[in-house]
Amino acid sequence: MTSSAASHLLPVGGHPPETAEFDRALLDLMDAHVAVLRLDGTIETVNAAWERFSEENGGDPSATGVGVNYLDVCTEAATGDHSVIPVLRGLRRVLRGADREFSSEYPCHSPTVQRWFHVRARRTRVGGLARVVVVHQDVSENRRLQEDVRARSLLLDEVDAAVIATDLDGVVELWNSDAERLYGWTAEAAVGRPLRGLLQATERLGAPHDVVTALSRNGKWEGLLTVTRADGSQVPVEARSTYVHDGDGLRSGIVSVSVDLSLRVAMEEQLARSNRELKAITDSIGDGLCVLDADGRITYINPRAQQLLDAYVTEALGVRLTRWMHRPDGARIDNLTEVDPSDPAEASLRRSDGSDIPVEYVMTSMVGRNAHDPAGWVVVFRDISERRWREARISRELEETRWIARIRDALAEDGFVLYSQPIFDLATEQVVQHELLVRMRDPEDPDNIIPPGRFLPIAEAFGLAREIDRWVLRQGLRVAATGMAVQLNVSATSLDDTTLPHLIEQLLAETGADPKLVVFEITETALVDSTEHAISFAQRVNALGCALALDDFGTGYGGFTYLKQLPIDELKIDMEFVRDATTNPASRHVIDAVVSLARAFGVRTGAEGVEDQPTLQLLRALDVDLAQGYLLGRPAPLDPEVTRRMQERPTP
C-alpha cells in the first residue's frame, strides 16, 4: 500500500473522522513496517509496526526513527551484511529519481529466529512534495511455506510412483526421482520442457496419444500406456492424470502419476501439490476493512468487506458490525472492544444467505477525547476459509500417508488376520460354509483389531488392494486345506490381474485344498467395471472346480446378463433389501423375484445382513437357500483347531 492510499481513503457516508487520526490508525493497523522518506533519505514518518520491530529486536527505536537518514542506516548495515547492498542500491536509485519503484527480498535473521523481508520503495507525491514510501513486509511465513513445498517434493520422492506436474500447456514443473528412474530423463533435463517432447506414448487399451487433449475433454484421465524412455526403450505404465485447481477453483496445472507395470502391480494416487499465494501490498487493501463510530456502527466499508458480509454499502452504513459477527462456536459477539488489538481473534461472519465465513480480525481505536473514550474503531478482517481447508487437507494427506505405511508394514510383517462368519443352510439349519474376512492388527496394540473400513479404502485408492487380496487368497486356501468350506472375496482391482487364476491354480496344488470347498465372491459393481476380465476369471476358476458367487445382486442393471455369461453358482441378495424386508413390501418383492430367477437358472440364493428372527423366518418362507448375519454369527477369529491344522501344514 502506498502512502497516498492512506491519505485519500475517506469513510463513505456520514462525516469522516479527523484525517490525520484516521491515517495514523490505518497505518498503525498494518502489519508491514512503513516509513516515508524525504529525497535526501531522511525519515519523515514511521508507523507503529516500524517502531515495534526496532524495539523487539533489541535496538534503539530512535536509531531508525523520524529524523534519521535511512540511507546511512542501510549503508552501515551493508558493511556487515552484503545481502543489504542490493537494497541500498535500489533505494538510492528511487531517491534520485532513476527508478520510480524498487522491490526485493532480503534476509534479516536474529540469533534465534530465521526471518525474511520483502522491501518495496516507491516514489510518490504527498501534499505536493516528492517523497519515497518504504514498506518492509515480513514474508518469513511464505518462505516457510516454500520450504513446506520442497518438503512435499521430498515426500513425493518417497512415494513408489513417478509423479510429474505440468502447467496447463503441458510444460513440466515437477519431475520426481521415480520419474527419473522410470523414464530416464533427469529432473534438470525435464523441468521446463513440454511433456509430449519428452515422452512418446503408444496407445494401449483405448488410451489417447495426447493426455492433455483428453483432460480438456473429461477433466481427468486414467489408463494404460506404453511409453518410450529417453534411451529409446519402452515401458508399460498405468497412469492417472488430473487437473489441479487453485484456491479459486480454477485449473492451475496437471498432475500425472504413473507406475511401472513391469516391476510392480500397484500404483499410488498423486498427492496434490498446494501453494500459498503471497499477499502483496497494493494500492488497495486486500482484506475487509470497516470504520466504526464510538457506538460500533459502520461509517465506512471497503469493497472486500462488502463481499465478505454479502452487504451493499447502503445496507451496512449505520448498522453495528456485531450484527454479522459470531464466535467460532456460533455464539453472538456483542462487544468487539474485548479483543486485544495486538492479538488477532477468530470469528464467523453470518451472511444474508445463512452461510458462515470464518475470519481472522484485528481492531484498533481512533483517538478521541481521551484513551477511554475513543472516537471510533478500525476493524480489519480476512477470510481464512482457504487456510482452514488447507489445514484439513494436509491433515487428511498426512493421515493417508500414515495408513499407507501401516498397510505396507502389515503386508511385510504378517500384520493381517482372517475372521470368519458362518453361512447357514436354511433348510438344514446347519453351517455349510464360512466367509473369510480380512482384519488388521493395530501395530501399537496387537490385541486391538482394526476393521476393514479403516484401511481397505486407502489400500484401494493407493494401489495396495491387490497385495491384500493375494494375502487373503493364500491364507484362505490354507484354511480350505483343513477341510473348511470357505468363501473368498475378490476385488475389482484383482479381477484386472490376468495372473490371478494361475496363482489360484498353483495354491490349490501347493495346499492340497479341495476346489469344491472354495467359493470366490465378486460384486456386480466389479463386473460392470471390468466385465471382460471378470468373465475370464470366472471361467478359469470354474474350470479349476471352484464355485462363483455374485454378491450385492439386485443393485445394478447388468445382473440378468451376467447370469447368461458367467458360470454363477450363487446369487447373494444385497443386504439393502434384506434388512427392511419385514417392513418394506418392495424389498420382499425383490427377494422373491431373485429367488425365482435363481431357480430358473439352477443356482442357489443367499442373504446377507440377517439381524433378527422375523427376517430369518421371512427368508425361509421365501425359499432363500443360505443366510448369514449378526443373528446367526458375527465375524470372529478362526477356530483354534483350524488354526492348529493350518500350522501343521506346509506354507505355500
* DSSP secondary structure, 151-213, as one string: HHHHHHHHSSSEEEEE-TT-BEEEE-HHHHHHHS--HHHHTTSBHHHH-EEEE-TT--S-HHH
Residue 402 domain-assigned (yes or no): yes
Q: What is the pTM of this model?
A: 0.46
Domain boundary among 260, 275, 299: 260
Distance CA 157, CA 258 (A): 13
**Each residue's pLDDT tens digit, 78-95:** 777 777 888 888 898 998
Task: Tell whether 593 and 519 lie within a shared domain.
Answer: yes
Confidence of residue 268 (pLDDT cuts 50, 70, 90): very low
The three-state secondary structure class of 500 is helix
pLDDT at 42: 92
Above 80 in pLDDT, residue 484? yes
What pLDDT score does 435 carry? 94
Pair 168, 293 in one domain? no
Task: Report whether pLDDT(272) > 60.
Answer: no
Statement: residue 3 has pLDDT above 50: no
pLDDT at 15: 36
The answer to whether 629 and 611 have CB atoms below 8 angstroms apart is yes
Same domain, 556 and 455: yes
Question: Considering the chain, what percentage of its residues have pLDDT values greater than 90?
Answer: 22
Span 439-448, average pLDDT: 86
Q: Are residues 224 and 304 in the same domain?
A: no
Interatomic CA distance for residues 441 and 460, integer angstroms: 18
For residue 619, tell me if it sits in a domain. Answer: yes
Is 582 within 8 Å of 615 (Cβ atoms)?
Answer: yes
Per-residue confidence (pLDDT) for residue 265, from 0 to 100: 38
- The pLDDT, as a whole number, for residue 152 is 55
Last residue of a domain, one of 353, 383, 413: 383
Kindly state whether residue 428 falls inside one of the protein's structural domains.
yes
Task: Classify residue 267: in a domain, yes or no.
Answer: no
Residue 412, pLDDT above cutoff 90: no
Q: What's the grid cell of residue 398?
A: 498426512
Question: Of the candidates 347, 365, 383, which is a domain's last residue?
Answer: 383
What is the reported pLDDT for 164? Answer: 85
Q: Are residues 155 and 132 in the same domain?
A: no
pLDDT of residue 216: 63
Which pLDDT tens digit goes with each residue over 307-335?
A: 888 888 888 888 888 888 777 766 777 76
Range of the domain at 633: 393-648
Lowest mean pLDDT among 57-71, 324-338, 600-614: 324-338
Question: CATH no. for residue 202?
Answer: 3.30.450.20
- Reported confidence tier of residue 2, pLDDT bands at 50, 70, 90: very low
Of the two residues 523 and 7, the one the predictor is more confident about is 523
- Structural domains of the chain, count: 4
Give per-residue pLDDT as tens, 212-248.
Answer: 566 666 677 777 778 888 888 888 888 888 887 766 6
pLDDT value for 634: 93
Asked if residue 260 lies in contact with residue 224, where contact means CB atoms within 8 angstroms, the answer is no
- Express each pLDDT in 506-521 by its tens digit: 999 999 999 999 999 9
Banded pLDDT at 12 (limits 50, 70, 90): very low
DSSP labels, 608-631: ----SHHHHHHHHHTT--EE-STT
Maximum separation of any 2 CA atoms in the chain, in Å: 103
Residue 28 resides in a domain: no
- Residue 13 inside a domain? The answer is no
pLDDT of residue 281: 33
Q: Give CA separation, 428 vs 424, 431, 565, 620, 627, in Å.
A: 8, 9, 31, 11, 12
Position 16 in a domain: no
Q: Do 366 and 506 belong to one domain?
A: no
Q: What sections of 450-601 are H helices per DSSP?
A: 452-461, 465-480, 492-495, 500-511, 524-529, 531-543, 559-565, 575-579, 585-601
Kindly report the CATH number assigned to the domain that includes residue 564: 3.20.20.450
Q: Which range (235-249, 524-538, 548-562) has the least confidence?
A: 548-562
More confident residue, 372 or 472: 472
Same domain (yes/no): 228, 304: no
Q: Are residues 152 and 128 in the same domain?
A: no
SS3 content of the chain, % helix, strand, coil (to 5): 40, 30, 35
pLDDT of residue 9: 32
Both 559 and 442 in one domain: the answer is yes
For range 441-448, the mean pLDDT: 85
Task: Name the nearest CA neighbour of 12 among 367, 374, 298.
Answer: 298
Inside any domain, residue 497: yes
Q: What is the pLDDT of residues 69-80, one digit of tens each?
A: 988 888 887 777
Averaging pLDDT over each range in 167-176, 219-228, 418-427, which range is the top one?
A: 418-427
Q: Does 107 share its domain with 194? A: no
Residues 124 and 155 in one domain: no
Cα(first)–Cα(last) distance of the chain, in Å? 72
Q: What's the pLDDT at 337?
A: 63
Residues 414, 513, single domain; the answer is: yes
With a pLDDT cut of 70, the percent of the chain lying above it is 79
Query: DSSP character for 14?
Result: S
Q: What is the pLDDT of residue 19?
A: 56
DSSP state of 17: P
